[in-house]
């Protein structure tokens, strides 16, 4: 829905830089939403523990809100200060994926 809004509702209203920022937000949002779907199934399959799944999903969700959210606001408002918090969301993404790797490795042993 946010991708369609950007493609149809914002096209022509944002400059090329802002449109690129918005598209990046949509891409990372999409990838990590798929990650949430996959990770939420892993405890049921016995790949990771329920607790690890909860933490990983929380980190990925926080990353979506902080990373993509700040980029959405930056692109639409043009207030570049919002870009300063984007790396915090990136760190949440990284922490979530690293925790997934660790949990899967531990579960595989």
Q: What is the pLDDT of residues 41-98, one digit of tens each?
A: 999 999 999 999 999 999 999 999 999 999 999 988 888 888 899 999 999 999 999 9
pTM over 0.75: yes
CB 42 within 8 A of CB 48: yes
pLDDT in the model for residue 8: 44
Q: Is the pLDDT assigned to residue 109 strictly greater than 60?
A: no
Q: How many structural domains does the chain have?
A: 1
Q: Is residue 71 part of a domain?
A: yes
Q: Is residue 4 part of a domain?
A: no
In which domain, by residue range, is 25 found? 18-108
Q: Is residue 3 part of a domain?
A: no
| Residues near 53 by beta carbon (within 8 Å), at least 6 away in sequence | 39, 40, 42, 43, 103
Helix axes 16-45, 86-108, angle to 10 degrees: 20
Q: How distant, in Å, are the alpha carbons of 28, 61, 89, 107 from that of 17?
A: 17, 26, 20, 43
């Amino acid at each position: 829905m946010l991708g369609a809004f950007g493609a149809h509702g914002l096209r022509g209203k944002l400059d090329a830089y802002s449109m690129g920022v918005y598209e990046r937000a949509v891409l990372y949002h999409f990838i990590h939403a798929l990650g949430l779907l996959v990770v939420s199934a892993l405890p049921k399959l016995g790949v990771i523990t329920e607790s690890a799944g909860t933490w990983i999903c929380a980190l990925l969700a926080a990353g979506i809100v902080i990373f993509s959210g700040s980029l959405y606001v930056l692109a639409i408002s043009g207030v570049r200060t919002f870009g300063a918090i984007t790396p915090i969301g990136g760190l949440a993404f990284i922490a979530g994926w690293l925790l997934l790797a660790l949990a899967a490795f531990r579960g595989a042993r």
